[in-house]
Amino acid sequence: MTPGEWGIEKGELSAKGHGTMWTKESYGNFVLDLEFKVAKEANSGVFLRAGDIRNVLSALEVQVHESTDGSRYGMVGAIYDAKPPSKNMAKPVGEWNRFTITCRDSRFVLVFNGEEVINVDLNDWSQARKNPDGTPNKFSVPLKDFARKGPIGFQGLHGRAAAPVWYRNVKIKVLE
């Protein structure tokens, strides 16, 4: 990332610019546990297993949002443009939320504020630009063909409002 794009104050990581912050290491099978809170109109995301950090569309994105971008596939906790959570677990603006994300081979599980809201096999996304439920998506490569190992990223200020988002207690546990 470009220096100055992100900062840490009082143990909280926050974006100061639009750049995405990436881990130096690549992760394949792992559990990512983190807390986040958003300001009004915030729009961010957590990128997983990026195939190419210069192309965020090469990574799964778990949406971090005030609530939604207008579609159920863009609501907070969704695998962006691919799978919404089974229910909205988001706390109000300014309150801390928690994601526990498990990636093991093709299996993706999201526990959002203590409740499992996504448990899918990425191999079910077998066609480009199409979700298993038949709805379109923006991915020119089926999710089954996405990298199974890559860096984890935190999206910087994003969207028209460029409203802040904060992360804390970020932990990654590598799974065998």
pLDDT digits (tens, 9 = 90+) for 57-105: 999 999 998 876 667 788 999 999 999 999 999 999 999 999 999 999 9
User: Does residue 3 belong to any structural domain of this protein?
Assistant: no
How far is the C-alpha of 115 from the C-alpha of 52, rounded, in Å? 31
What tens digit of pLDDT does each residue of 108-146 get? 999 999 999 999 999 999 999 999 999 999 999 999 999
**Burial track 112-136 (b if 16+ CB lie within 10 A, e otherwise):** bbeeebbebebeebeeeeebeeeee
Residue 164 lies in a domain: yes
Question: How many distinct structural domains can be found in the chain?
Answer: 1
Residue 46 lies in domain: 11-174
pLDDT at 21: 94
Mean pLDDT of 47-53: 96
Instruction: Tell me, yes or no, whether 51 lies in a domain.
Output: yes
Residue 1 counted as domain residue = no
Q: Is residue 55 situated within a structural domain?
A: yes
Average pLDDT, the chain: 93
Amino acid 51: pLDDT:
95
CATH of the domain at 57: 2.60.120.560
Quick: pLDDT tens for 10-48.
999 998 888 899 999 999 999 999 999 999 988 899 999
Task: Say what the pLDDT of residue 172 is.
Answer: 98
Cα 123 off chain centre by: 19
How far apart CA 56 and CA 45 sit, in angstroms, is 10
pTM for this prediction: 0.94
* Residue 151: closest CA among 10, 28, 5, 19: 28
| Range 166-174 average pLDDT | 98
3-state helix/strand/coil string of 61-108? EEEEECCCCCCHHHCCCCECCCECCCCCCCCCCCCCEEEEEEEECCEE
Q: Phi/psi class of residue 133: alpha, beta or left (left: φ > 0; alpha: ψ in -120 to 50)?
A: alpha
Q: How far apart are CA 32 and CA 145, in angstroms?
A: 21
